[in-house]
Amino acid sequence: MQKYLSLVKFSHTIFALPFALLGFFLATKTTGMGFQPKILVLVLLCMIFARSAAMAFNRYQDRDIDIKNPRTATREIPAGAITPKSALIFVIINCILFIITTWFINPICFYLSPIALITILGYTYTKRFTYLCHFVLGLGLALAPIGAYLAMGGGFDLLPLLYSGAVLFWVSGFDIIYALQDQSFDKSLNLHSIPVKLGTKNALRLSEFLHLICAILIVTASYILMQTYPEAFGWLQALGSILFVALLIYQHRLVKPNDLSKINLAFFTTNGIASVILGTLVITDLFF
């Protein structure tokens, strides 16, 4: 079990999970349905199955690339800890479980489940032909808040769309930073990424711009929450938005064109903390 948790980088669930919970609990307020424990469990299962399928498929498809890259050669498949066949079976099982779980939620989630799978699985192929691959990854994770909102019977409303948009630009921006590690390697294998296309300095500038858009969307959502639901949303969710934006700024102070040594700190630690803080404070504001 441990090797499969490592295969899918289960700890990285921390990026999208708080936004999925945010979408779920936001819907408990805006749809008037109240807290639904069964739906919450199903949403969490969908998150686990979808992300496990996406990550395992990425590792499966990239196994021949990973073995050539010193940074990734120790991953489970190239290292021989998990066979390609076992990884593929794992992907198929998780895809099936994801679709089955959506069926128990509601029809719209079930009907949209293949589109979600195509998006998150399709990301794996994009770096082979387009430098826009980071945005496809961002789109995959951006499905979390709107998907959870739909699970609670909500529609394509403004607030969950704002949070989904924020996730899109947030993830795209920090994935560009993460891709700086493999800039030379990707170029040698004719793989596509923003750093390969634009170079280190311009890639960082684009990442900053994307995170600026993310910050605007987060602050806009915070303002709408306070204006629309003054009795439920107050200073805690506003504080969460401020801290999230502050951590975005801090992230860009860690990584410089001539110093990429703190990429992992910027990528995982800072973004993980930002996501948890925002989700926790918005949800706490809603209920307390």
Is pLDDT above 80 for 33?
A: no
Averaged confidence pLDDT in the chain: 91
- Residue 8: per-residue pLDDT: 66
Is pLDDT above 70 for 257?
A: yes
Is pLDDT above 90 for 116?
A: yes
For helices 133-151 and 158-179, give the axis angle rounded to 10 degrees: 150
| Total residues belonging to the chain | 288
As a whole number of angstroms, the distance between CA 52 and CA 9 comes to 8
As a whole number of angstroms, the distance between CA 177 and CA 267 comes to 7
| Residue pointed to by tokens 């803080």 | 277
CATH number at residue 206: 1.10.357.140
Give residues with Cβ within 8 angstroms of 66, minimum separation 6: 59, 72, 73, 75, 77, 78
Tell if the pTM clears 0.85, that is, is over it: yes
As a whole number of angstroms, the distance between CA 270 and CA 203 comes to 19
Confidence band for 261, pLDDT divided at 50, 70 and 90: confident
Give residues with Cβ within 8 angstroms of 198, minimum separation 6: 206
Confidence band for 15, pLDDT divided at 50, 70 and 90: confident
pLDDT tens for each residue of 62-82: 999 999 999 999 988 999 999
- Which of 145, 137, 128, 212 has the alpha carbon at shortest distance from 172? 137
DSSP 8-state code for residue 259: B
On whether the CB atoms of residues 75 and 59 are closer than 8 A, the answer is yes
Number of domains in the chain: 1
Q: What is the DSSP string of 148-188?
A: HHHHTT--S-HHHHHHHHHHHHHHHHHHHHHHGGGHHHHHH
pLDDT tens for each residue of 133-170: 999 999 999 999 999 999 998 778 899 999 999 999 99
Domain of 208, in residue numbers: 2-287
Higher pLDDT, 287 or 39: 39
